[in-house]
């Protein structure tokens, strides 16, 4: 807003100064032309700013064309204004309301002179309408009056008109002036009509061009919209096809994976079943083989025990049986155990029987058969010779508890098959600590 105010103020002052200078130097310049020049300069500056931000050759060329166009427009406008003023000046010297004093009015020209002047004025007006007039000095009222006055002879001393000049009535002069004014007005009207027709034609052409341009733009926009719609449809179709293809591929892949997984699971299941079946068969075979072997061993053992029993039955003393057990306990510990059982059964009332029970329990401990040792001590508590001896009963009960502690600690360390002489020191210490704690709580 400040820029517009400053620019407008500078232009107004410049127009005033240029107009005064032109009149001072007798230069024909209309103030409307100066205003038009300022407007054109403002338009040129605005277009120069918006045309391009870079000062290249094209920018200077367009700027020069704008300046020349603006100068031509201002020049043509000023010339047309001057031409119109000259036409009006040639057609009418004085207004209807203006009249010179009687003593200052010139003598009326002769009739032929009046008609000749009217003919010349008409020709001059016609020529002016066709070709632009040459630039001439400023027209003043005195010059116009001088041109309108007919050439007359110098008056004599009496200041009377010549007797040969025929005076023309004043009504004819006024009629000629009125006709000239009407002719000038008619010319101005025709020129205004021509300008109006030209402006109307230009407006119609501009409206037609604008309508054509709008129709072209609408058609182009419709074409662009149609192209965009087709492009969008093609894109949507392509995306839908790609999506359907991807879904089909994903579905096929999922089906293939499911089928492969099912086949793999079925194969794994079949293999597992086959392995389980083979394992079961192998276990069944092993169990059957083990059962047969155990049965064979049991038969052999039974036969061996029958033979051993017959051999022991042939011995008629406890010492003989003990000697046999002592001789076989290292090589055949089971035979020694059988011999101790036979000796305990046959000589249960002997005073040496409690020691036989202890020897049998130690033999079981050396074979890691802690359950057998506990069963031996429990069975011995029922024997009369031991049941009647409180000290012996307490000792056997203590051995039973001790062997139970040994069995529990070895089971805790997953070493239940370890013979008693081979138990590690740390486990043995744990057994002793546990047994002492159990014995203390029992007391």
Structure tokens that stand for 105 in this block: 């009015």
Decide if 360 contacts 341 (C-beta within 8 A).
yes
CA distance 171 to 108: 10
3-state secondary structure of 330: coil
pLDDT beyond 70 at 211: yes
Q: Are 114 and 172 in contact (CB under 8 A)?
A: yes
Q: Would you say residue 114 has pLDDT above 60?
A: no
**b/e sequence 327-344, b meaning 16+ C-beta within 10 Å:** ebbeeebebbbbbbbbbb
Give dist(CA 403, CA 313) in Å, integer. Answer: 32
- Comparison of pLDDT for 134 and 10, the residue scoring more: 10
CB 77 within 8 A of CB 33: yes
Instruction: Mean pLDDT check: name the lowest of 146-150, 158-162, 240-244.
Output: 158-162
136-to-18, 27, 86, 132, 421 alpha-carbon distances in Å:
20, 10, 10, 12, 155
Contact by Cβ (8 Å): 396, 377:
yes
Average pLDDT over residues 149-158: 42
Question: pLDDT tens-digit profile of 282-325?
Answer: 888 888 888 888 788 777 777 777 777 777 777 878 888 888 88
pLDDT at position 426 is 92
Give mean pLDDT, residues 167-184.
74
Q: 420 versus 132: which is more confidently predicted?
A: 420
Confidence of residue 91 (pLDDT cuts 50, 70, 90): low
Distance between CA atoms of residues 79 and 91, nearest Å = 18
Average pLDDT of the segment spanning 169-189: 80
Q: Which of 96, 83, 294, 276 is nearest to 191 (CA)?
A: 83
Q: What pLDDT score was predicted for residue 163?
A: 39
Say which residue, 32 or 31, is predicted with more confidence.
Answer: 32
Token pair of 439, please? 């014995």
Residue 317 carries which DSSP code? Answer: S
Please check the confidence at residue 167 and state whether its pLDDT lies above 50.
no
Average of per-residue pLDDT values in the chain: 77
Share of the chain above pLDDT 90, in %: 7
User: Which pLDDT belongs to residue 136?
Assistant: 43
Query: Is 49 or 348 the better-scoring residue by pLDDT?
Result: 348
| Exposed/middle/buried for residue 353 (C-beta within 10 Å: 0-12, 13-18, 19+) | buried
Query: How many C-beta neighbours within 10 Å does residue 295 have?
Result: 10
Q: Please state, in angstroms and rounded to a whole number, the distance separating the CA atoms of residues 266 and 272.
A: 10
Residue 126 CA to residue 119 CA, distance in Å, equals: 11
Rounded to 10°, the helix 31-51/2-24 angle is 140
Cβ–Cβ < 8 Å for 438, 401: yes
Domains annotated on the chain, with CATH: 1-95+105-151 (no CATH), 317-442 (1.25.40)
- The position carrying tokens 């407006």 is 203
CA distance 388 to 380: 12
């Amino acid at each position: 807003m400040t820029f517009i105010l400053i620019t407008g103020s500078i232009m107004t002052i410049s127009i005033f100064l240029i107009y005064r200078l032109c009149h001072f130097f007798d230069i024909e310049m209309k103030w409307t032309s100066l205003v038009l020049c300022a407007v054109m300069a403002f338009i040129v500056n605005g277009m120069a700013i918006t045309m391009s931000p870079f000062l290249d050759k094209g920018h200077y060329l367009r700027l020069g064309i704008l300046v020349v166009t603006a100068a031509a427009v201002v020049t043509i406008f000023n010339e047309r204004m001057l031409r119109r003023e000259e036409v009006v000046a040639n057609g009418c010297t004085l207004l209807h309301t203006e009249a010179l004093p009687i003593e200052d009015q010139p003598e009326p020209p002769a009739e032929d002179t009046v008609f000749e002047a009217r003919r010349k004025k008409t020709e001059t007006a016609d020529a002016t309408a066709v070709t632009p007039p040459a630039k001439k000095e400023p027209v003043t009222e005195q010059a116009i009056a001088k041109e309108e006055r007919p050439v007359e002879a110098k008056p004599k001393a009496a200041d009377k008109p010549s007797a040969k000049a025929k005076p023309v009535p004043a009504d004819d002069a006024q009629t000629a002036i009125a006709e000239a004014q009407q002719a000038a007005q008619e010319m101005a009207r025709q020129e205004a009509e021509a300008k109006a027709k030209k402006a109307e034609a230009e407006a119609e052409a501009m409206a037609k061009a604008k309508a054509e341009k709008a129709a072209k733009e609408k058609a182009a926009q419709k074409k662009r919209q149609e192209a965009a719609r087709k492009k969008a449809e093609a894109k949507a179709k392509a995306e839908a096809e790609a999506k359907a293809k991807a879904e089909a591929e994903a579905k096929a892949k999922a089906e293939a994976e499911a089928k492969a997984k099912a086949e793999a699971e079925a194969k794994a299941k079949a293999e597992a079943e086959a392995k389980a079946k083979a394992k079961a068969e192998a276990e069944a075979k092993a169990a059957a083989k083990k059962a047969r072997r155990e049965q064979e061993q049991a038969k052999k053992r039974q036969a061996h025990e029958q033979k051993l029993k017959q051999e022991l039955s042939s011995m008629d003393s406890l010492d003989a049986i003990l000697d046999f057990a002592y001789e076989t306990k290292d090589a055949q510990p089971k035979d020694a155990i059988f011999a101790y059982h036979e000796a305990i059964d046959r000589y249960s009332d002997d005073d040496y029987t409690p020691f036989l029970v202890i020897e049998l329990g130690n033999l079981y401990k050396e074979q890691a058969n802690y359950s057998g040792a506990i069963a031996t001590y429990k069975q011995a508590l029922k024997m009369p010779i031991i049941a009647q001896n409180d000290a012996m009963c307490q000792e056997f009960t203590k051995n039973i508890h001790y062997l139970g502690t040994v069995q529990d600690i070895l089971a805790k360390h997953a070493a239940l098959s370890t013979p008693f002489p081979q138990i590690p020191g740390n486990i043995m210490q744990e057994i002793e600590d546990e047994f002492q704690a159990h014995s203390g709580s029992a007391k």
